[in-house]
């Protein structure tokens, strides 16, 4: 997924990262977004833009996208819901919570969460997309559908021909930094031990095997497959309103459950709960 453009969070420039990740390139800078905000001042009040923080309003985001012929429509608005469009048939979404913005976009035939607070793009399957958006709305996010033709990009062209695979999900940037700091501390402690023993302290073979086993046990193995997505989707379905479940096809769930059970057994509440690790 190296071809996917993904700006990571810098300061409070989430609006810039959101737009650039959507358009897949360095299309906007803080100066350019500030210019859009200034142009709106004769129509809107300064409350729509915080000059000293870098945060921008929906009006600024919307007007910046109009330059590219793109329009934002609120995902859960009555007008849009009447269209009954399955989210997987859209091309991109912009999500906002208070002053934070991020993009979810389709590249090739796959969906990606391009949140700038993650260490990289996160693959989101078609199975999980509708419930992912529903979960965001439950958490207080406003979700907007991006309408219009997005500019061509290398990642979209490449992923039309091949499918991306993700063995490990990206972590939040803060979590990665904390882990790196912890690794540096452990390395320093080991160096102190070696120095105290004049460099002669060597781990024997059994101790080395134990250290490797402990290290492997701490690694997160999160395969991006249909069964993993199905477990997450069904768990979320117990939390989100019924209206969103209409988007999530029951027939597809039944097929995937049969596949994950590995036999021609009709899925039931009992074996579905067993697969999810729940008490039936």
Summarize pLDDT for 48-59 with one digit per residue, the tens: 444 444 567 888
Q: What is the pLDDT of residue 181?
A: 57
- Checking if the pLDDT of 24 tops 60, the result is yes
Q: Copy the structure tokens of residue 97.
A: 């919570």
Residue 218 belongs to some domain of the structure = no
CATH code (residue 26): 3.90.70.40
Residue 200 belongs to some domain of the structure = no
- Checking if the pLDDT of 189 tops 60, the result is no
* Residues 144, 96 contacting (CB under 8 angstroms): yes
* Residues 42, 65 contacting (CB under 8 angstroms): no
Q: Copy the structure tokens of residue 240.
A: 């989100």
Q: What is the pLDDT of residue 221?
A: 42
pTM, two decimals, is 0.65
Q: Quickly state the pLDDT bin for 209 (edges 50, 70, 90).
A: low
- Checking if the pLDDT of 202 tops 60, the result is no
* b/e map 265-279, b = 16+ CB within 10 Å: eebeeebbeebbeee
Q: Quickly state the pLDDT bin for 280 (edges 50, 70, 90).
A: very low
Q: What is the pLDDT of residue 98?
A: 86
Residue 63 belongs to some domain of the structure = yes
CA dist., res. 203 & res. 128, Å (int): 46
Residue 57 belongs to some domain of the structure = yes
- Checking if the pLDDT of 169 tops 50, the result is yes
CA dist., res. 224 & res. 57, Å (int): 34
Q: What is the pLDDT of residue 165?
A: 92
pLDDT in tens, 71-121: 999 999 999 999 999 999 999 999 999 889 999 999 999 999 999 999 999
Residue 192 belongs to some domain of the structure = no
Q: What is the pLDDT of residue 278?
A: 44
- Checking if the pLDDT of 4 tops 90, the result is yes
Residue 98 belongs to some domain of the structure = yes
Q: Measuring CA to CA, how many Å separate 139 from each of 46, 56, 97, 189, 239?
A: 28, 21, 9, 41, 11
Question: Is beta strand 142-147 parallel, antiparallel or unpaired with respect to 71-74?
Answer: antiparallel
Residue 257 belongs to some domain of the structure = no
Please tell me the total count of domains within the chain: 1
Domain that holds residue 55: 14-163
Residue 269 belongs to some domain of the structure = no
Q: What is the mean pLDDT of the chain?
A: 76
pLDDT in tens, 221-241: 444 455 666 677 666 656 655
């Amino acid at each position: 997924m190296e071809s996917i453009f993904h700006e990571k969070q810098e300061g409070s420039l989430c609006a810039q990262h959101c737009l650039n990740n959507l358009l897949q390139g360095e299309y906007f800078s803080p100066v350019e977004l500030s210019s859009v905000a200034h142009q709106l001042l004769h129509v809107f009040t300064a409350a729509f833009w915080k000059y000293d923080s870098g945060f921008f309003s929906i009006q600024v985001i919307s007007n910046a996208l109009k330059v590219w012929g793109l329009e934002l429509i609120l995902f859960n608005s009555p007008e849009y819901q009447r269209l009954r469009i399955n989210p997987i048939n859209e091309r991109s979404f912009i999500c906002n919570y208070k002053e934070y913005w991020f993009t979810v976009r389709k590249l090739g035939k796959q969906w990606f969460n391009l949140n700038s607070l993650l260490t990289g793009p996160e693959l989101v399957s078609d199975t999980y997309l509708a419930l992912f958006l529903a979960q965001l709305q439950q958490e207080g996010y406003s979700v907007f559908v991006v309408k219009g033709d997005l500019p061509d990009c290398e990642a979209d062209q490449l992923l039309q021909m091949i499918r991306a695979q993700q063995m490990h999900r990206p972590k939040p940037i803060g979590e990665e930094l904390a882990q790196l700091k912890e690794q540096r501390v452990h390395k320093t402690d080991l160096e102190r031990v070696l120095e105290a023993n004049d460099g002669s302290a060597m781990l024997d073979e059994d101790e080395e095997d134990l250290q490797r086993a402990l290290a492997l046990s701490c690694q997160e193995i999160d395969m991006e497959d249909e069964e993993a997505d199905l477990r997450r989707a069904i768990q979320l379905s117990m939390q989100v309103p019924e209206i969103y479940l209409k988007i999530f096809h029951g027939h597809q769930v039944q097929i995937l459950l049969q596949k994950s059970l590995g036999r021609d057994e009709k899925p039931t509440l009992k074996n579905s709960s067993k697969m999810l690790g729940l008490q039936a």
